[in-house]
Amino acid sequence: MTFRDLPSVERLSAELAELNHELAVLVARQAIDEAREKLRTHPGPPSTKGGDLATRARALAAALGRNQLRRAINATGVLLHTNLGRATLAPSAVAAVEAVAGGHATLEVDEETGGRGSRQTVIAQLFRELTGAEDAIVVNNNAAATVLALAALANGKDVVLSRGELVEIGGHFRLPEVIVQSGARLVEVGTTNRTRIADYEKALTENTGMLLRCHPSNFRVVGFTEAATLEELVALSKRSVIPFGDDIGSGALVDFTPFGLTDEPQVQKSVSAGADLVWFSGDKLLGGPQAGILVGRKDLIAICKSHPLMRALRPDKLTLAALEATLRLYKTGRAWDEIPILRRIKRESGQIDRRCRLVAGKLRKLGYEATVEATFAQVGGGSLPGRMLPSHAVAVRAENLPALARALRHAQTPVYGRIERDRLLLDLRAVDKDEEAALVSAFAPLPATKERSREEGVAEA
């Protein structure tokens, strides 16, 4: 094909009679532009026949209609993987989202009067009951909760924070910078490894707006360390009449110590100890949708609620539906059985081993070299750093591991594992039983004979 053989947009789009006119023109133009570019960069022997252009245009049209944001299988061994969407929702939360997504919803109506209500009333009530706090408010995520709390309560004032908690959470969310952005002044106290309550006390002035604690959730300082306790901070806050804000991060509503996960702060503990305001994520250990939740003193929540930023940070009906359904599982004692992150933490290593053996067997039938190995999974998502959960993984060996991993990412249901040295590990702790079939079918059958054909089979998968 030469430049002169390229059809006009009009002619090619007329061939795509099954598409609507606008789409046909759009993809015809794209296909022709692509072909022209190809001719420019690779002049010479004919590469594209006329008929191929229509095929290519149809493929472009199909791709335009397909969501890039898709369901995926998380076999990384990191249970709350931020890049893979952190917590997955319980079936009742999924149903709640579905119920309000395609129709109107009782988002801001008062069922008694028919007048306007608040979208937050029900959720606040559930958080009051579950945490013992006076009031609660939901925003877009925990970063938003931090910004709102500081902007509403400490604007123009000093915020006292330990040097051991000057954290970066990820995605450029650096607490010292957030404090500045919210109009407060950061007053650092103590050192990276040791901060005592006396350090906070010395830093207090009449301009102090908040005593802040931030759970160091994505790193761990070990060795010669010391931090003021929750009780000491609360006592100092009461003595000095300065609000104490506690960013506890992952929002554990249940006790994880039976699973060896010992230093995860629990919401109820901060509340009952007397923290004035406690905030956390909805999609980490709580196991709900992306959200940030502030619980605490009624008067402080009221100030946050009426801050102009609130409108910009408020959650939508899908989030509130999922969150309400998730909280009802805690309320009705079904959390450990139905909330995926809790079930995955609870899952027995031996059971994961048995499932791995079955999956490995199926992969061997497809021609892969697959075995089972003992591994460690981690909670991830900025929760419980360094705390490992014994687990098992299917270990797949192949000539070209990056090509295999890439093929799995491009499968109909993408599969994400991790490459360690000479094998690809698929940890099944975060993979549910009903996902196993899709995981196996992400592997294209291999001829499993000569190495050469094996490599090609993988690359085509």
Ligand X SMILES: *Cc1c(COP(=O)(O)O)cnc(C)c1O
- Give contact residues for ligand X (rule: CB under 6 A): 141-143, 169, 214-215, 217, 247, 249-250, 281, 292, 382
**Least Cβ distance, residue 293 to ligand X (angstroms):** 9
Paired tokens of 201: 């006390």
**Least Cβ distance, residue 144 to ligand X (angstroms):** 7
Residue 120 or 383 having the CB closest to ligand X: 383
Paired tokens of 400: 């070209």
**Least Cβ distance, residue 99 to ligand X (angstroms):** 25
In angstroms, the CA 30 to CA 450 distance is 40
Residue 315 or 417 having the CB closest to ligand X: 315
Which among 431, 357, 351 is positioned nearest to 390, based on CA atoms? 351
Residue 215 or 423 having the CB closest to ligand X: 215
CB-based closest residue to ligand X: 249
In angstroms, the CA 264 to CA 381 distance is 13
Using alpha carbons, list the distances in angstroms from residue 185 to 159, 203, 208, 215, 242.
6, 12, 9, 20, 15
Residue 184 or 204 having the CB closest to ligand X: 184
Paired tokens of 337: 């059985």
Which among 356, 397, 362, 361 is positioned nearest to 375, based on CA atoms? 356
Residue 247 or 324 having the CB closest to ligand X: 247
**Least Cβ distance, residue 116 to ligand X (angstroms):** 29
Residue 25 or 148 having the CB closest to ligand X: 148
**Least Cβ distance, residue 444 to ligand X (angstroms):** 36
CA 155, 160, 163, 165 torsion-angle sign: negative
At residue 437's C-alpha, the angle toward residues 433 and 442, to 5°, is 130
Alpha helices in 158-253 (DSSP H): 175-181, 197-203, 230-240
**Least Cβ distance, residue 146 to ligand X (angstroms):** 6
**Least Cβ distance, residue 258 to ligand X (angstroms):** 22
Residue with tokens 């006292």, as numbered in its chain: 160
Residue 140 or 237 having the CB closest to ligand X: 140
At a CB cut-off of 8 Å and minimum separation 6, what does 290 contact?
A: 86, 140, 141, 281, 282, 283, 319
**Least Cβ distance, residue 281 to ligand X (angstroms):** 4
Helix axes 21-41, 50-64, angle to 10 degrees: 120
Paired tokens of 27: 């993809």
121, containing H or E segment:
helix 121-131
**Least Cβ distance, residue 166 to ligand X (angstroms):** 12
Residue 87 or 236 having the CB closest to ligand X: 87
Residue 7 or 385 having the CB closest to ligand X: 385
Find out whether 442 and 71 touch, Cβ atoms under 8 Å. Answer: no
